[in-house]
Amino acid sequence: TLTNAHVVEKNSTVQMKFQNGTILNGVVLGTDEGRDLALIFNGNQKPPPVFFGKSDTSLLKEGAEVYALGFPLIYTSTITLTKGIISATRQETRYGSLIQTDATIHPGNSGGPLVNNKGEVVGINNSVVVAQGGVSIIGGTGIGFAIPIQTAIELIPSLSQYGQNRIELYPVGSSQTINKSLKMQIEYNEQLGCAQLNLNPIDSITCNLYRNYRNDYAWKVIDDTH
């Protein structure tokens, strides 16, 4: 499950209540506070899936019809839906490049989906900037923003494997070390995933980096085979 980092805050576990009354306990796998994204593991619980739309600027155009869903303010007995358009496909904010919409996004809508007129998720409701006064006075009468769903999709592997954005934890282009025995084990068992090699946590992280992002780093091989 994807939501905002500011929704889960610093919690390692969260409780999720769905529209049909189902309550699930989830584990926060990782957060990226810079992009305001969090990834939650539902265990063996499988809520109904959603369909992802396209959020790249070549397909998502200004004027496209969108709907924001969520549980605004203190009114949590039922989900709400507001209708609007894409005001700008990208606006640079402190959370990066976001979709701007005039579909009303109240405090409490955070983490909910922004969907197109086909019901496909194109963004994750993120924030609202009010014209004047405070949020407690004006509420959602401002400019609404949503994280493009493509941004979220691209961060899922990093959040699930490393607990945070890989670019922040292991900066791309930096030097990484790998034991020769581990390198040989990975290359010899090319058909197996890192999770199937029964590695310790540190070697598992190194394995994922080496196997999936090998060309992103400068690797130093340490001979530990003696």
Would you please indicate which residues are annotated as catalytic (active-site) residues?
Answer: 6, 36, 110
Give the separation between CA 209 and CA 212, rounded to whole angstroms.
6
Residue in the structure block whose two tokens are 């070549």: 58
Give the separation between CA 149 and CA 113, rounded to whole angstroms.
9
Let me know: does 105 contact 125? Beta carbons within 8 Å.
yes
Give the separation between CA 147 and CA 4, rounded to whole angstroms.
9
DSSP state of 48: P
> Which contacts (CB < 8 Å, 24+ apart) does range 17-26 have?
18/47, 19/78, 19/79, 22/47, 26/1
3-state secondary structure of 107: coil
Neighbours of 5 (CB within 10 A): 24
Tokens of 1: 């499950």
Alpha helices in the chain (DSSP H): 5-8, 135-138, 149-162, 166-169, 180-188, 201-213
Give the separation between CA 4 and CA 36, rounded to whole angstroms.
5
Let me know: does 69 contact 115? Beta carbons within 8 Å.
yes
